[in-house]
Structure 1
Amino acid sequence: MSLSIQFLTMITMVLSGFYLGIVQETFRRLTYYWKRRVFITYFLEISFWLTQTAIILYVLFRVNAGEIRVYVILACLLGFSIYQVLAKSTYKRLLEWMIRITAAVYRFFSNLLHTLIISPISWTVRTLFRLIFWMFTLITTIILFILKIALTPFVWIGKGIYQLIPDGFKKNLHKLAGFYSTMKNICYKGYKKLEKLLFKRG
């Protein structure tokens, strides 16, 4: 390997070490967002170091065909040390600034999306369901009113027949009426919950 290639290799490895310091600092800062998820933490940790190793080896391959010598490792450590001593504090401030800017942009577009798309669609769907529910309630009320008028004579006849039924058979009818009342209450509670859900504010 010629002297010029060795010199280029050293410069490249110093820069690679400096780069490694930057990406390692960035990765450590972003680890905060998934540190409570153990599997994801281990997976990303392993993936990060494998990726960085592959990148540095590829750079080395492009410079000197992949020859690894002691001074190559020392040069990489030198670049990493230069970052730690001279650029770490500055880059950390820059990184925090970039994270704040990114978060602000994300919140802006998220709020914009919610205001222009999600909220109108949600309001339209809720209004449509309210209209359907109101129409269903109105039609049901009308039908029940008509049935009440139409069945009134039969109710009077039924009351007259009921007085003629033996007491033993009446007890079975009372049990059936109790079951009917229970099912009616369950349906009524479900109806009220659905009504509250559809007509709640906001």
Structure 2
Amino acid sequence: MTLNVQFYTIFMMILSGIALGAIFDVFRVLSGKLRLPRWTIPLIDIMFWIVATILVFRLLVYSNEGQLRVFVFLGIGIGICFYFALLSLWVIRLTLLVIRIVIAIYRFFRRVVELFIIKPIIGLYRLTVIILGFLVAVAIFLYKIVLQLLYPVWRLLLWMTRPLHKYFVIPAWLKKLSGKIVAIYRRLFSK
């Protein structure tokens, strides 16, 4: 392994140490902001270590074909120390800013959906209910008027056909129907 490859490898490992610190801070801030249950912390830790292992391995394969030397660990340690000494606060602030921006965008789109989709649907529903209620009230009103107009005619028809009852047998269903009409009329208009 040439000196050039070793310097390139240590530089890549310093970058991977910085990336590991940044990923750690992002996971830490996200888990704090999302208020995840305690039982998810081991899962997040496992996910962090899987991502960290894949990142370091890929950079190691890219820089020196995967040869593991002492200076690889030294480079990762230097990168992590550099990150936590100088960059950690900035990454945390940037992560919190991104979270606030995402929340603001989510609230904006939720409000837009509420104003342009949900409220018009609710308004149409309420308008439909009002119109149907009005139409039902008009229909009931017209039904009562028709019944009031037809009731005397029905009573007159029954009175006129009363002498014929001696000679003709009136079907039972017609007697029931006339009784129901009289009962409906009394229920609607006797108040």
TM-score tier, shorter chain, comes to: 0.5 to 0.7
Change (3 A) 1:9 1:153: closer
TM-score by length of 2: 0.66
- Which amino acid in structure 2 is aligned with residue 44 of structure 1? I
How far 1:145 moved relative to its partner? 7.8
Change (3 A) 1:3 1:39: same
Cα contact 2:23–2:48 (8 A) shared by 1: no
Change (3 A) 1:133 1:48: farther
- Which amino acid in structure 2 is aligned with residue 105 of structure 1? I
Q: Distance in 2 between matches of 1:48 and 1:143?
A: 74
> Match for residue 26 of structure 1?
26
Q: Distance in 2 between matches of 1:130 and 1:69?
A: 79
Change (3 A) 1:29 1:19: same
How far 1:13 moved relative to its partner? 0.5
Secondary structure at the residue paired with 1:103? Answer: helix
> Match for residue 83 of structure 1?
83
Query: Is 1:4 paired with 2:11?
Result: no
TM-score by length of 1: 0.63
Secondary structure at the residue paired with 1:66? Answer: coil
Cα contact 1:10–1:75 (8 A) shared by 2: yes
- 1:51-200 counterparts in 2 under 5 A? 51-136=51-136, 138-139=138-139, 154-155=182-183
Q: Distance in 2 between matches of 1:77 and 1:84?
A: 11
What 5-or-longer segments of structure 1 have no aligned partner? 156-202
How far 1:71 moved relative to its partner? 1.6
> What is the aligned residue count?
157
- Name the larger-Rg structure: 2
Q: Distance in 2 between matches of 1:126 and 1:40?
A: 44
Q: Distance in 1 between matches of 2:142 and 2:42?
A: 64
Which deviates more from structure 2 when the two are superposed, residues 64-73 or residues 101-110?
A: 101-110
> Match for residue 171 of structure 2?
none
What's the Cα RMSD here? 3.1
Secondary structure at the residue paired with 2:67? Answer: coil
Q: Deviations over 1:21-55 (max 9, x none)?
A: 11111110010244443454443332232122212
Change (3 A) 1:86 1:153: closer
Cα contact 1:34–1:40 (8 A) shared by 2: no
- Which amino acid in structure 2 is aligned with residue 70 of structure 1? V
Cα contact 1:9–1:63 (8 A) shared by 2: yes
What 5-or-longer segments of structure 2 have no aligned partner? 152-178, 184-191
Q: Distance in 1 between matches of 2:44 and 2:116?
A: 35
Change (3 A) 1:67 1:107: same
How far 1:16 moved relative to its partner? 0.7
Q: Distance in 2 between matches of 1:42 and 1:147?
A: 76
> Match for residue 37 of structure 1?
37
Q: Distance in 2 between matches of 1:136 and 1:32?
A: 56
Q: Deviations over 1:159-202 (max 9, x none)?
A: xxxxxxxxxxxxxxxxxxxxxxxxxxxxxxxxxxxxxxxxxxxx
Secondary structure at the residue paired with 2:68? Answer: coil
